[in-house]
Amino acid sequence: MNAEVRGEFERIHGLAPEGVWAAPGRVNLIGEHTDYNDGFALPMALPQTAVLAVRRRADGLLRLHSAQGDGRITELRVADLAPRTVSGWARYPAGVVWALRERGLPVGGADLHLDSTVPTGAGLSSSAALECVVAVAYEELYGLGLERPELARVAQYAENAFAGVPCGVMDQMASVCCAEGGALHLDSRSLEVRQVPFDLAGHGLRLLVLDTRVKHDLADGAYAALRAGCERAARLLGLPALRDLGEAELPRALGRLPARLVPLVRHVVTENARVGRAVERLESGEPEALGPLLTEGHVSLRDDYGVSCPETDLAVEAAVAAGALGARMTGGGFGGSVIALVRAGEATAVAAAVTEAFASTGFEPPAVLEAVPSAGARRIA
């Protein structure tokens, strides 16, 4: 894709780019809706990436073009960037430039051309990939001296304050910090990370991504309501965040909360514990033992957190019935994708079973991808 993106940049903008960068989407193995509660997560980067060709400008203009757009260039003045003033895909790269300037960093305009293979609306962090590829490119071009976790915070701030999505930092940390062949054990409070070996092929396993094609929009208010509920529960319990509540203390704590907050807290606390157990199993060389944790996590997301939907529930049920070791929805929810951990020889049968289940229910056929633990954001030319 590097040569194609360079060629398109020259065709659209008239000059060669200064460089080409890539940033991946991600799947989260376990640890969903924990990041904005200062908790733990275990994501891995995907082979699918957002690729960016960029050349700086001296006139303060930001000119954005996307291969997935309508063919037009979005032209903005950097000095005039402000939250909620840019719509569509352009709000993600524009938001990063704004967020860097909000930090007082000396960044200016640029010509950008983007192309992405990360499916949109599938719960695979296509927006974070767009943000992070701009962040790493600007960091290098302008010599900003920001470490990877700082770049992730910039990208998260862009999505929170500029695009209006109150997400945590897990997506952005995965996009910039993941390493090939591993999953990223993330502490969302300290931003400490640890690479955990995840050798699927060596253990005769594959991780399928089943995109239900149900599009989700995390800016529609439901995500914000969940986050607000968690933050209110933490305040009522006298805690900095729900991360500070352990499993042993959970029963007593739940008795002190309004009924509507009980399932939210139960999910966050048990999900944090599942992350710990998942890391133990990977580090002991037992990736197949992740299966039951995935399914257990899905039940919690479905029944306690309420972010599943009929399509994701059916994908999980059909995959497990067809022999998957475990499956769960991944991402913020309200649609998107399911991951299924399968033995390599059973991957085709599991994918076919899910497709058949969708057809018999009248759902649109799912798209099937394979998740291979891949590298984080990087310069590619």
pLDDT surpassing 60 at residue 367: yes
8 A C-beta contact, residue 204 and residue 255: no
Please report the pLDDT score of residue 220 as a whole number: 62
Label residues 312-327 b or e (16+ Cβ within 10 Å = b): bbbbbbbbbebebbbb
Mean per-residue pLDDT over the chain, rounded: 96
pLDDT in tens, 2-44: 889 999 999 999 999 999 999 999 999 999 999 999 999 999 9
The residue whose two tokens read 């502490």 is 187
The residue whose two tokens read 């352009």 is 90
Q: Specify whether 70 is catalytic.
A: no
Q: Any idea what DSSP says for residue 374?
A: B
Burial class from Cβ neighbours inside 10 Å (0-12, 13-18, 19+) for residue 63 reads: middle
Range 341-347 average pLDDT: 98
Label residues 3-22 b or e (16+ Cβ within 10 Å = b): eebbebbeebbeeebbbbbb
Q: What is the maximal distance between C-alpha atoms in the chain?
A: 65
| Alpha carbon distance 78, 63 (integer Å) | 10
Catalytic pick among 171, 187, 220, 303: 171
Please report the pLDDT score of residue 195 as a whole number: 97
Q: Any idea what DSSP says for residue 73?
A: P
pLDDT in tens, 173-212: 999 999 999 999 999 999 999 999 999 999 999 999 999 9
pTM (two decimals): 0.95
Please report the pLDDT score of residue 215 as a whole number: 78
Distances, alpha carbon 332 to alpha carbons 9, 168, 185, 264, 314, in Å: 33, 10, 18, 14, 17
pLDDT in tens, 216-272: 665 468 888 999 999 999 999 999 999 999 999 999 999 999 999 999 999 999 999
pLDDT surpassing 90 at residue 320: yes
